[in-house]
Amino acid sequence: MKAYLRVRCNKEYLATIREFVKARLQDLQVPGKVGHQIVLAVDEACANCMIHQHQCDNFSTIEIAIYKENETLYTEIKDTGQAFPIHEYTPQKVKEIVKKRAKGGLGINLIHRIMDEINVEQKRDYFIYKLGKHVGSPAKP
């Protein structure tokens, strides 16, 4: 079963998204360390949408869905407009970012390091970032 959350594109709601993801991961018995990494990757993807797609416009929204299929945990972020092709993006080297004194560029790097599957589905007037992480089966009691 999918769990959904819709939030305004205001960075204040990133904390709400993290709490939603954490609670859902707990329900799905995803272990702590992997769970923290998934929370981080989803936070990064949502922050990217809010900042770069919507310039933090409080009247725009994004929708987050979480579910598990077989042994993979999927997060879908549904957003309007044209998708940034995060699945094709080659992350910058961290040393280059330091040299440029840049504040950005690390988020997509983290998403690529954490998630096992990164896909973008472009529809007519919206797109979906689909992030998958192999989490295995919950431990038997």
Partner 1 sequence: MEIKETTQANFVTLSPQGDLDAHSSVALDEKISELLSQKQHFIHIDCSGIPYMSSAGLGVFISYLDEIGASGGKLVLSGLQENVLEVFGLLGLNQLVTIVGDGASVASEFQGV
Q: Site residues (CB under 8 A) for partner 1?
A: 11-12, 14-15, 18, 33, 36-37, 40, 43-44, 47, 50-51, 94-95, 97-99, 101-107, 109-110, 113-114
Give min distance, CB of 48 to partner 1, in A: 9
CB nearer to partner 1: give 73 or 114. Answer: 114
Give min distance, CB of 108 to partner 1, in A: 9
As a 3-state breakdown, the chain gives helix, strand, coil percent values, each rounded to 5, of: 40, 30, 35
Residue 72 corresponds to which amino acid? T
Query: Nearest to residue 17, comparing CAs of 5, 32, 9?
Result: 5
Distance set, CA 63 to CA 79, 121, 128, 132, 134 (Å): 7, 14, 9, 16, 22
CB nearer to partner 1: give 104 or 136. Answer: 104
CA distance 54 to 60: 7
CB nearer to partner 1: give 55 or 137. Answer: 55
Give min distance, CB of 12 to partner 1, in A: 6
Question: Do residues 78 and 63 make contact, with C-beta atoms less than 8 angstroms apart?
Answer: yes
Give min distance, CB of 47 to partner 1, in A: 4
Residue 115 is classified by DSSP as: -
CB nearer to partner 1: give 15 or 122. Answer: 15
CB nearer to partner 1: give 72 or 92. Answer: 92
Question: Do residues 44 and 108 make contact, with C-beta atoms less than 8 angstroms apart?
Answer: yes
